[in-house]
A and B are shown apart, each in its own frame.
Chain A
Amino acid sequence: MMPTEKDIIARCQQGDTAAFRYVVEQYQTMLLTLGLKMLGDDEEAKDIVQDTFLRAWEHIGQYDSRYALSTWLYTMAARLCMSRLKRMRRIAPMPEDEQVLRRYMNEMDGQRQLENSELAAVVRVLAEGLGAKQRVVFTLSHLEGLDNQEIEERTGLNARQVKSNLYAARQIVKQRLKQLGYE
């Protein structure tokens, strides 16, 4: 019989590293996707994933079982990304990043799966000019598909902050795409 998530967590709380390995295998893609979309950098995203798991391991004893493990990990990763974004200087997209976006826009009907470097490039182009909070709420809303309530819970921002940052971010991205020739 497959162990339930509750069993896995209980084993992790007893220091079972094999159980924790299962958790890492299970959620690494979800967290790396979030990191890539938030930070637009493959290496930074991998760092965030590792930091998230390390902190999860350290604090697994305080895990609140009322929430899903994925939500707990996702929230931690989102907040680590937010901290990282505040420290990072605004990254200007490289010249080739725009070409990646153009290519993707032309192929969008095919729903091609982007490679990490391509996804990061597209994110960099879109996020240019966004502040840290705007970038976070924009990513969670438009690139991850979370609703405002979920964004509040994941980021710790209040409803007004989420709404205003989201509106501003959307306007900036819209303007940016317009400059690139996409109305």
Chain B
Amino acid sequence: MNKMDTLLDSLQRQQAQIEDKEAFTDMVMERMYAQKQEREGNTYPATIVAPLSKGDAGAANNSQFSIFNFQFIVRVAASIALVVLVGFFVTLRTQPAVSSELLASNLHNIEKYRMDLSQIPTDGTSRDMYRCYQEAKREQTFYHNELIKYSHENS
């Protein structure tokens, strides 16, 4: 074995010395926490994770960029949902209820047609009279249904 091989062989057995392993570990962990905190506490624009080199990407088997921070997206989505929800309730509260005048008017119409219908002969002898009767009946039904609909919607 020549001197070069002896030297290389000897160097191969050399190990690095870490004087204070605990302190070194603390340093790594501190950087890790800091990075984690920075990522979690950041605001727009989102942190861009430092790109790995071509080689590192293979080693770590992951995508190179994380354009938007996940937490950031979740916060934005939650804010939008909250705004929509508040808007919905505000709209609901400010929407005018069916006015008592409209209701009274409908009731009045129903009563009117009920009275009218009582005066129409229904023996079928007159076709004109019968048609009148049918129309009045349809209108009465219409108003009646409308009233029910309003009541349901605003109950």
Do A and B form a real pair? yes
Residues of A within 8 A of B (CB): 17, 20-21, 24-25, 28-29, 32-33, 35-37, 45-46, 49-50, 53-59, 62-64, 72, 75-76, 79-80, 82-83, 104-105, 108, 111, 113-116, 119, 122-123, 142-145, 155-156, 173-174, 177, 182-183
Can you report 27 residue pairs joining A to B where beta carbons are below 8 Å apart? A17-B29, A20-B32, A28-B25, A29-B15, A33-B14, A50-B31, A53-B32, A54-B35, A58-B35, A58-B60, A62-B60, A64-B61, A79-B55, A104-B7, A104-B10, A108-B6, A108-B10, A114-B14, A119-B11, A119-B14, A143-B8, A144-B12, A155-B55, A156-B54, A156-B58, A173-B4, A183-B2
For window 17-46 of B, CB contacts with A under 8 Å fall at 17-18, 21, 24-25, 27-29, 31-33, 35
B152 interface residue (CB < 8 Å to A):
no
B13 interface residue (CB < 8 Å to A):
yes
Residues of B within 8 A of A17 (CB): 29, 32-33
User: Once the chains bind, are A33 and B62 in contact (CB under 8 Å)?
Assistant: no
Give Cα A111–Cα B2 distance, bound, in whole angstroms: 16
User: Once the chains bind, are B61 and A59 in contact (CB under 8 Å)?
Assistant: yes
Q: A79 touches which one: B27, B31, B35, B56 (CB < 8 A)?
A: B56
For window 45-59 of B, CB contacts with A under 8 Å fall at 49, 52-56, 58-59
Residues of B within 8 A of A (CB): 2-4, 6-8, 10-18, 21, 24-25, 27-29, 31-33, 35, 49, 52-56, 58-62
Give Cα A156–Cα B58 distance, bound, in whole angstroms: 8
Supplied contacts A17-B29, A156-B55, A182-B7, 11 more A-B pairs, CB within 8 Å: A25-B21, A53-B28, A57-B32, A59-B60, A63-B61, A64-B61, A80-B56, A104-B7, A108-B6, A113-B14, A177-B4
Residues of B within 8 A of A62 (CB): 60-62
Q: A116 touches which one: B16, B49, B62 (CB < 8 A)?
A: B16
User: Once the chains bind, are A28 and B55 in contact (CB under 8 Å)?
Assistant: no
User: Once the chains bind, are A55 and B52 in contact (CB under 8 Å)?
Assistant: yes
- Shortest B14–chain A CB gap in Å is 5
Residues of A within 8 A of B60 (CB): 55-56, 58-59, 62, 76
Residues of B within 8 A of A80 (CB): 53, 56
- Shortest B50–chain A CB gap in Å is 9
Give Cα A29–Cα B24 distance, bound, in whole angstroms: 10
- Shortest A168–chain B CB gap in Å is 15
Give Cα A154–Cα B13 distance, bound, in whole angstroms: 20
Residues of B within 8 A of A57 (CB): 32
